[in-house]
Structure 1
Amino acid sequence: MSDSHELKDMKLFAGGAHPALATRVSELLGIPLGRMTNKRFSDGEIQVKIDESARGAEIFILQPTCLPTNDNLMELFIMLDAFRRASARRMTVVMPYYGYARQDKKIKPREPITARLVATFLETCGADRVVTVDLHAEQIQGFFNIPVDNLYGGPMLGRYFVQQGLREDPEVVVVSPDVAGVGRAKSLADMLKCTFVVIAKRRPAPNQVEVVEIVGDFVGKRCVMIDDMIDTGGSIISGAQALMDRGAREVIACCSHAVFSGSARQRLQDSCLSEIVCLDTIPNEEGPDFPKLKVLPSAPLIADAIRRIHLNESVSALFEGWR
């Protein structure tokens, strides 16, 4: 993908969160992963040691902050501190999945804003730039005083559905599982040249969803639901069931981040969904793939973004036509 000579002044390192993704990204960039030792003290504290010179280099650290979120975040902070003390010229944190993003605003009294807290920690530890994939809320970028590149997984999902013959199919409609995701659903609908539908819902409690209304024409249609993440599966499954109960012919779900907490895999497999499509921004270590799941590689997107950042080329050019 890349001429390794043009990337000679940069180094790519990875924490322990998703080594398989880091390996694929390094192969696409044509550069080896940096050498680093990650160990634990007897009490569980994380120990990091950089095993090669970082002085004057541009450092990219790939670390999604997925489960175990606290450990992966702490490892990332320690890595940043190590590179800062090793005189790295610039440090870019590549977080395919940005943990603690769901508390991005204060809704009730005495609630924290954890997305802002993580941003503060990253800057304090010395990050000069952050790269993410499909932030839970785009306004999180405003929590930083450093550049943030939010990559979109939607075009990769859209290209998969185009390959499956869904473009310009009059029987296809895109569905947003909530009002907040309308922009994402409209962009995918534009890519597939179809209309979109919005599900209005309420959350009486965390991880509990109640469908209130469905706005748009979906009866007799193949519905493609798109969201940034699937956690317990409750929101996607209840939305899909509501669509089927009210006349939809088929429901396919897609997302960038397959969190799949608890029994989500089994619940999704047993649901009315015909297929679940996701990216590999999070390692699939908690359980095996299930028959309905299709995983798409995110490494080409991440590697291209890293290359463009290092060469001071446009990152937004990757998403022309996607809003």
Structure 2
Amino acid sequence: MIVSGSTSQAFAAALADATGRDLAAVEYDRFPDGELQATLTDFAADDAVVVGSTVSSDAHVELLQLQDAVREAGANEVTTVLPYMGYARQDAAFSDGEPVSARAVARAVSTGTDRVLTVNPHETAVCDFFTVPAEPVDAAGRLADPLPADLADPLFLSPDEGAIDLAATTRDAYGRGSTDYFEKERDYDTGAVTVEPSDAAVADRDVVLVDDIVATGSTMSEAIAVLTDRGAARVFVTCVHPMLAADARTKLERAGTTAIFGTDTIERPVSAVSAAPAVADRL
């Protein structure tokens, strides 16, 4: 059965549909002291697929509770699906005294499962932190589905070299176009990010920006401004994980994006396509 955390209900339903598995009923509650409780009400299966995007500390706790609940209900095999893995970008200690938070979280998740699938972690190496078999799932190809069929000489552009594979995957799924990337520099003293355009011609072309996650929207906004100045016809923003924290959506709209498309790994109004089929292929 598919068992959904409160943050991934649409994703879990899509995964149940894609796999033909039943979707378990789960109740989510909070006690007066703030503690959470996630309760199964009709689970009956030998194996369980626990699904939860860990977008907050509460979501992490809820995931651990669900893992424990399915074991209590008799599941012999548990697979945990992390559509979005929180803390995955904290994959190293950058100064003395800092934790490797991705490792700490991975170890905790590992205690209640036999296997982990995580969708497009920021660095695939975080899978090595789990103490059970863990695999990344690439859902970037799903970002091609909501794009208009009439893109003009499309350029699939990643905000930095590290995301060029995502741009290529999206381009391949779309079926035509070229790829390139921006050079991105971050001032770690001020936090400011600047992007420098490549030599790719963008005038009168439709440009599709592709990244794994859009969090604050600052980098994407800068990229949109550069592309607009260089005469791009339309600029689409696509990402696997549409975090869109704080005023990120406003930043992108003010910068002049034509449309924003994300998957349902983080359920937002821009979640135009589900990443569940990519996960279903790996279950």
Shift in Å at residue 128 of structure 1? 0.9
Counterpart Cα distance in 1 of 2:217 and 2:258: 14
Distance (Å, rounded) in 2 between the aligned partners of 1:147 and 1:249: 45
- CA distances 1:198-222 after superposition (whole Å, capped 9, x unpaired): 21112224863112x2223133132
Counterpart check, 1:177 vs 2:162: no
- Give deviations 1:244-266, integer Å, cap 9, x for gaps: 22443332111111111112222
| Residue number among 175, 182, 186 corresponding to 1:199 in the alignment | 182
Give the whole-Å Cα distance in 2 for the aligned partners of 1:207 and 1:81: 40
Structure 1, residues 266-290: CA drift from partner, whole Å, max 9, x if none? 2222222112111122122xxxx4x
Q: Are 1:39 and 1:47, in contact at CA under 8 Å, matched by a contact in 2? A: yes
SS at match of 2:197: strand
TM-score for both structures, normalised by structure 2: 0.88
Aligned twin of 2:275: 298
Q: TM-score, normalised by structure 1?
A: 0.78
Which residue of the other structure, out of 17, 24, 41, is the alignment partner of 1:34?
24
Secondary structure, in 3 states, of the residue corresponding to 1:76? helix
5 Å-filtered alignment, 1:109-148, equals: 109-124=96-111, 126-148=112-134
Match of 1:6 in 2: none
User: Is the partner of 2:57 in helix, strand or coil?
Assistant: helix
How large is the RMSD of aligned CA atoms in angstroms?
2.4
Report if the CA contact (8 A) 2:145-2:273 is conserved.
no
Compared with structure 1, are the counterparts of its residues 188 and 298 closer, same or farther at alpha carbon in structure 2 (3 Å cutoff)?
closer
CA distance 1:207–1:226, change in 2 (3 Å): farther
2:150 match? 165
> Which stretches in structure 1 are left out of the alignment for 5+ residues?
1-10, 310-323
Secondary structure in 1 aligned to 2:193? strand
Shift of 1:180: 1.4
More contact order relative to length (CA 8 Å, sep ≥ 6)? 2
1:149 and 2:132 are equivalent in the alignment: no
Report how many residues are paired. Answer: 280
- Cα offsets for 1:42-62 (capped at 9, x unmatched): 1011123333465x7111111
Quick one: which of 10, 31, 41 aligns to 1:51? 41
Provide the rounded CA distance (Å) in 2 between the counterparts of 1:152 and 1:228. Answer: 10
Q: Please, which moves more after superposition, 129-138 or 185-194? A: 185-194
The residue type equivalent to 2:150 in the other structure is G
Match of 2:263 in 1: 279
Name the CA shift for 1:87/1:207 in 2 (closer, same or farther; >3 Å): farther
**Matched-pair identity in %:** 30
1:82 and 1:295 mapped to 2: Cα distance? 32
The Cα of 1:33 is off from its aligned counterpart by: 2.0
Q: What letter corresponds to residue 178 of structure 1 in structure 2?
A: D
Q: Which residue of 1 aligns with 2:53?
A: 64
Bigger shift: 34-43 or 269-278?
A: 34-43
Which consecutive residues of structure 2, in runs of 5 or more, have no partner in the other structure? none
TM-superposed CA distance for 1:87, in Å, is 4.2
* Map of 2:254 onto structure 1: 270
| Corresponding residue number in structure 1 for 2:85 | 98
Equivalent position amino acid for 1:165 in 2: D
